[in-house]
Structure 1
Amino acid sequence: MTCDEAEILLHALIDGELDAGHAREVEDHIAGCPACAAALADYREMSKAVAGADLRYTAPPLLRKRIEAALPQAQAQMPNRRAVLRGFAMGSAVSAIAATGLVAIVLRNDDAQRIESEVVSAHLRSLQAGHLTDVISTDKHTVKPWFNGKLDVAPPVVDLTAQGFTLIGGRLDYVDARPIGAIVYRRRAHVINLFVAQTSSTERRPAKIETIQGFNIRSWGDRGLNYWAVSDIAADELADFGDKFEAAMKSSATG
């Protein structure tokens, strides 16, 4: 393991995100590298200082009132009796369908929202110890071949380290009841999961940014692949990541 690779994983080691094998590799490297050992000690002291500081902030009640006042009036209105009865009727119909063991997808938009929710759930699972990467490497020529034979189409892997988004590895995940490739990047101490799945459409789908459960998602489609980049970094940073990834893909296609 090189110092560059160890530097990427020091935060993950402190946060307990590495499995036993990867943690042992980092610790073995640290044991023989005074520079990385010193960096780890500094990070741990910083974590202790942050944890011990009283940094919790409680928003005043006035803030809630200001937010509620800024919401569109349509959201603040109570539903009328007809809308409530319509909701009960829809719920009964869905229950009847579920009782027969059938699955109905009513709207494509609903299906897209369901998949995005599954993508966020997969992102959350990956943050648990030992779930972040199946192959750990900062080299795209190591990560991309690892997917060969595991998926119908190996996801493209782009090295964006020079642009501030460090490749740290990849893994197999499951979304919409099928295997999917996940390319993992770091932005400072934040994880970016880029999920990639094959699609029958070859048309480009413009990028859009959404927020689900506090996580930002940049989704787009291109050349028969669907992409979902998920992270807790700011929306503009995630948009920048997606723009740089797409630019690198176009460059490799024309190069």
Structure 2
Amino acid sequence: MDHEHASEVLSGYLDQELGLSEALEFERHLAGCEQCQQVYAQHRQLSAQLKQPGLRVEAPKELAMRIKAALPGRRSPWERLGERLRRWTGGRSSTWAPVGAMAMSVVALSWSLSLYLAVPSSEQRLTQELVDDHIRSLQFNHLSDVISTDKHTVKPWFNGKLDFAPPVVDLAQQGYPLVGGRLDYLDGRAVAVMVYHYKLHPINLYVWPGNNAGAVPHIHAQQGYHLAHWSTAGMNYWAITDAGDNELSGFIAELRAHPAS
């Protein structure tokens, strides 16, 4: 992929609209192009800022009703199915009507159940989003927007970029040195990411306000990575690494035992 093509598909990549092969080709170009890296970082930060909750405006109910009324009508699947049954019976009432109604009920129930089972839960969607984000940060070599082992450098870097102050903890003496931080977008909002290392294994720690997880971390594996999430002191925490579950468990134990900054 040349520089001109990369510039054309940058917006599509940010919106996750590219196919897998084109996205990988863009990432390979990005890894070796400092100019595109700078533009990408600017667009990424701007996108996160534009998605801040305070910038969203809810449309008036009257406007929403007018738009809905102006849209062309569309029959539901059940109306279309009923139309087919009426054509089959020639529009006549017959002894088959109860059977047809029962068949429609069975079809509706089966379809609804299949749709319900096929839709992932909110936690499953968030987990997959987090794994994808972690992989992208490794592929781009874009683990950190601010590179520093000093929490007094990393924490102030987030000022003005987030609507909360993320706690930043230094765990170098415990074997998990802080190496930097970055701004990211997850679960529909801007989040802080603190980056730690365990030997050669990076650990991404995502933090944002809320109490959506349990107080006790639960470690599980997905796509070869170990993840854990929990809530404490009004903050949601997600940690992910390619290190083992024992190493991640040790990191979490040290982090939770350390007073937050």
- Note whether the superposition's TM-score is higher than 0.5: yes
AA aligned opposite 1:214: G
Larger radius of gyration: 2
Distance 1:204 1:115, change over 3 A: closer
Deviation string 1:185-226 (CA, Å, 9 cap, x unpaired) is 111111100000111x49962111111111101211001101
5 Å matches for 1:190-229?
190-199=201-210, 201=211, 205-229=215-239
Cα deviation for residue 92 of structure 1 reads 5.2
Aligned pair count reads 161
Q: Show the counterpart of 1:168.
A: 179
In 1: Cα distance, 2:216 partner to 2:184 partner: 24
Cα deviation for residue 112 of structure 1 reads 1.6
Q: Show the counterpart of 1:138.
A: 149
User: Structure 1-normalised TM-score?
Assistant: 0.56
Deviation string 1:41-73 (CA, Å, 9 cap, x unpaired) is xxxxxxxxxxxxxxxxxxxxxxxxxxxxxxxxx
Check conservation: 2:149, 2:180, Cα contact below 8 A.
yes
AA aligned opposite 1:90: L
Does the residue aligned with 2:166 lie in a helix, a strand or coil?
Answer: coil
In 1: Cα distance, 2:243 partner to 2:116 partner: 40
The answer as to 2:150 corresponding to 1:114 is no
Distance 1:142 1:220, change over 3 A: same
User: Structure 2-normalised TM-score?
Assistant: 0.55
Q: Show the counterpart of 2:164.
A: 153
Deviation string 1:70-101 (CA, Å, 9 cap, x unpaired) is xxxxxxxxxxxxxxx97654345799xxxxxx
Check conservation: 1:203, 1:224, Cα contact below 8 A.
no
Equivalent of 1:186, from 194, 197, 204? Answer: 197
5 Å matches for 1:2-151?
88-91=111-114, 110-151=121-162
**Structure 1 moving runs of 4+ over 2 Å:** 16-21, 85-95, 201-204
In 2: Cα distance, 1:206 partner to 1:121 partner: 24
CA RMSD of aligned residues (A): 3.2
Q: 5+ residue gaps in structure 1? A: 1-15, 22-84, 96-105
Identity %: 44
Q: Show the counterpart of 1:237.
A: 247
Deviation string 1:161-187 (CA, Å, 9 cap, x unpaired) is 111111110001111121111000111
Check conservation: 1:19, 1:129, Cα contact below 8 A.
no
Q: 5+ residue gaps in structure 2? A: 1-29, 36-107
